[in-house]
Amino acid sequence: MQTTKRLLTIKEASEWASQFLHRDVGESNISYLIQYGKIQRHDGGNGTLVDLAELKNYYQSYHGRREIRWKAKLGDDLNWALSFDHLREKDTTKHVHRLHPYKGKFIPQLVEYFLGPHTDDFKKQIFFKKGDIVLDPFSGSGTTLVQAAEMGIHAIGVDISRFNCMITEAKLQNYCFDSLEDDVNRVRKAISDYEADGRVSAFEDELLEKMADFNNMHFPSPEFKYEIQRGQLDESRYAAGKEREFLRIYGDLVRKYGIELNHSASKTFLDKWYLKNVRKEIDFAFEQVRKIKDIKNKKMLAVILSRTIRSCRATTHSDLATLKQPQITTYYCWKHKKICKPLLSIRAWFDRYSIDTICRLKTFAELKTDAQYVVLAADSRTVDIFKEVEKRNRELHESLKKQKIKGIFTSPPYVGQIDYHEQHAYAYDLFGFGRRDELEIGPLYKGQGAEAQASYVDGILKVLLNCRKSLTVDPDIFLVANDKHNLYPEIAEKAGMKILNRFRRPVLNRTERDRTPYSETIFHLKYK
């Protein structure tokens, strides 16, 4: 006897999933599962329906079996509670944490867990309290400082990259929102009214129309994604054929409208990774930002522009985090499972990010406390923290003299994995910031060999020894690291420290196509 399927509306599925998982699952979450082929869409006449049994099986296999699968590959000592897999993406990228992409940053919940009070066995002890000072000597885009501001903890961030420091400062500044919105809207309008090449709009309109027809015919969503999820189609072979087929259409349109795509004369990052029309719009937008008189507003608009041009690079969606080669034609997109195109204008993205940024800043403004902060564009191996804080924030300097720094929470660079300046090369080109690549610790270009590892150990050791001068007598130090070379026991020993505890956590949300199970370790250290 065939069992009758129990079909639910999107709203009913959302309510059921929320009860099943004991957390909020919005209707958009259910729509996402359908859109990306995780579960099948059923026609309900007046709306979309989903099969309850399939939905339940998805959540059981995803949330239950994933932990088992990851532990089988990475070891049973994984602390799954620190995966925060019960959270939605909008929780792990809340308010200003998503103002600008930054490769290699940790999620804010990790900072909250170790800096704030919790009730599990480890966290019966509270390491930081309101009014303490925390130091992040590799502050990156400012995750530790932002969370400290939300928790009432004073914070000092140090980073070798001037651009990274600008992102952090822009997140933490107090704004007059009337003034900021006026400046943002003025730049938005100027960009919207600007047209570098009148042929581009007509070309894009016809291209989008033909792409929509082609994708609807050959990559119907979500049916195509559903087939891929279940291995019912050879994606590589099918996609390659259709990609070649649409390239002929694309080439005809480029010739019809006389669109310039030539990159042969590219001398800078901006020339290489942007189509000519986009490059002209970027220069125009930058001139509008330069006209802003309010320094705080100008910094924020620079961040909005940087975020925009990062998204508008001539690359595939899958390779946005790690560039491979310029993409100046249409292509099969492994992320969206259809034919996509390079971006021909920054206007829509600048508009979108402007609105999103104001919203996120206002949300954070309601949450943050009056905790003090300082961001130092300096080398953590040599910076005089007391001296530099005194120059920038007298109130924090007075607190620093009285109580010193309570501890460190940071994620040092990993050995040979990321070039921290190169990931924002477009911004260095545009804003004219001086690059200090040679001062990076463990950069990608040095590799991961014995010499690179020795240089890394020396660099991290010098940071810890220099920071010790500003720390209280018995500080707590937390380092988030992917220590696959087992370097931190040596670093701790040379720094006169002992490792009290190690917490290995799975890193679940990654931007690259590579989804290989991956973990990082949080080291809790004390001086001997």
Confidence of residue 1 (pLDDT cuts 50, 70, 90): very low
C-alpha span between 400 and 385 (Å, rounded): 10
Residue 99 backbone zone (phi > 0: left; psi -120 to 50: alpha; other: beta): alpha
d(CA 192, CA 281): 10
Which CATH architecture does the domain made up of 80-164+368-527 adopt? 3-Layer(aba) Sandwich (3.40)
Is 201 in contact with 257 (CB distance < 8 Å)? no
Number of alpha carbons in the 13 Å side-chain half-sphere of residue 264: 2
pLDDT in tens, 2-28: 455 688 999 999 899 888 887 788 888
Each residue of 452-487: pLDDT tens digit? 999 999 999 999 999 999 999 999 999 999 898 999
Residue count (the chain): 528
Q: What is the pLDDT, as a whole number, of residue 506?
A: 87
Q: Which helix (H) or strand (E) holds 368?
A: none
Give the residue-averaged pLDDT of 202-219. 95
Tokens of 205: 């309109």
Estimate to the nearest angstrom the gap between the alpha carbon of 110 and the chain centroid.
15
Give the Å distances, CA to CA, from 352 to 57, 184, 190, 308, 311.
36, 12, 15, 9, 11
Residue 396 tokens read as: 């924090």
DSSP character for 63?
A: I
Q: What is the helix, strand, coil percentage profile of the chain, to 5?
A: 50, 15, 35
Cα separation, 42 vs 21, in Å, equals 23
Per-domain boundaries in the chain: 7-74, 80-164+368-527, 177-360
Are the C-beta atoms of 180 and 159 separated by less than 8 Å?
no
- Cα separation, 305 vs 423, in Å, equals 16
Residue 25 near residue 17, CB atoms below 8 Å: yes
What is the CB neighbour count within 10 angstroms for residue 104?
15
Per-residue pLDDT, averaged over 409-413, amounts to 95
Q: What is the mean pLDDT of residues 501-518?
A: 72
Q: Measured at the alpha carbon of residue 516, what is the angle toward residues 513 and 521, in degrees to the nearest 5?
A: 115
Could you report the per-residue pLDDT of 91-140, keeping only the tens digit for each?
A: 889 999 999 988 878 899 999 999 887 655 555 578 899 999 999 999 99
Q: Is pLDDT above 60 for 263? A: no
Contact 306, 424 (CB under 8 A): yes
Phi, psi of 50 (to 5 degrees): -130, 155
CA distance 211 to 219: 11
* List of E strands, 79-217: 133-136, 154-159
Mean pLDDT computed over every residue of the chain: 89
* Count of H-run helices and E-run strands, the chain: 21, 12
Q: Cβ distance 139 to 164 under 8 Å?
A: yes
The token pair that represents 368 in the structure block = 């943050």
Triad 170, 417, 458: Cα angle to 5°: 90
What does the alpha-carbon distance between residue 77 and residue 33 come to, in Å, rounded to a whole number?
30
Q: What is the pLDDT of residue 2?
A: 47
Q: What is the pLDDT of residues 180-200, one digit of tens each?
A: 999 999 999 999 999 877 899
The mean pLDDT value for 44-51 works out to 84
Q: Could you give the count of Cα atoms lying within 13 Å of 132 in the half-sphere of its Cβ?
A: 20
Helix/strand/coil (H, E, C) string of 410-436?
ECCCCCCCCCCCHHHHHHHHHHCCCCC
- Give 320 or 253, the one with higher predicted confidence: 253
Query: Is there a contact between 204 and 294 (Cβ–Cβ < 8 Å)?
Result: no
Tell me the per-residue pLDDT of 365-398, one tens digit each, with 9 for 90 and over. Answer: 999 999 999 999 999 999 999 999 999 999 999 9
CA distances (Å), origin 26, targets 15, 62, 176, 403: 8, 17, 33, 45
pLDDT reading at 66 higher than 80: no
Closest CA to 528 of 475, 486, 490, 483: 475
Which H helix or E strand runs over 498?
A: strand 497-506
Tokens of 31: 């729509």
Structure tokens at 372: 């003090």
- What's the pLDDT score for residue 515? 59
Give the type of residue at 91: D
- Going through 265-413 in order, the beta strands assigned E by DSSP cover 331-333, 338-340, 373-377, 405-410
Nearest to 379 by CA among 169, 142, 160, 157: 160
Distance CA 269, CA 278 (A): 13
Alpha carbons 223 and 430: distance in angstroms, whole number: 42
